[in-house]
């Protein structure tokens, strides 16, 4: 099991975009989907419902993978679930 850390940039972006650290941790460790970006980086994403309006967004967590360590480098949420969701 790799050690997971969250970069300062990712925390800043998450705060700006209304995504809490607990959500980042959950998606980084138990995502609904994992999409390779390039060697050493992948996007881990899950659909999340945000209060108070109850809208569902896709939260995308970008993770750099190293030997024995993983680092969340940025995170964002989008309402364009169909654009990023992989069906196959």
| Strand pairing report for 41-50 and 55-66 | antiparallel
Q: What percent of the chain has pLDDT over 70?
A: 98
pLDDT value at residue 78: 96
In order of start, what are the domains of the chain with their CATH numbers?
Answer: 3-84 (3.30.2310)
**CB 69, CB 3: distance < 8 Å:** yes
Provide the token pair at 44: 């881990």
Categorize the per-residue pLDDT at 1 as very low, low, confident or very high, splitting at 50, 70 and 90: low
Q: What is the pLDDT of residues 12-49, one digit of tens each?
A: 999 999 999 999 999 999 999 999 999 999 999 999 99
pTM confidence score: 0.92
Tell me the C-alpha distance between 48 and 37, whole Å. Answer: 22
Selection from 6, 74, 62 nearest residue 31 by Cα = 62
Provide the token pair at 68: 């024995």
**CB 15, CB 63: distance < 8 Å:** no
């Amino acid at each position: 099991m790799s050690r997971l850390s969250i970069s300062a940039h990712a925390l800043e972006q998450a705060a700006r975009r209304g995504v809490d650290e607990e959500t980042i941790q959950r998606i980084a460790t138990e995502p609904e989907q994992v999409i390779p970006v390039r060697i050493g980086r992948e996007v881990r994403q899950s659909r999340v419902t945000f209060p108070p309006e109850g809208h569902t967004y896709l939260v995308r967590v970008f993770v750099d993978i190293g030997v024995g360590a993983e680092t969340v480098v940025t995170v964002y949420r989008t309402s364009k679930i169909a654009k990023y969701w992989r069906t196959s």
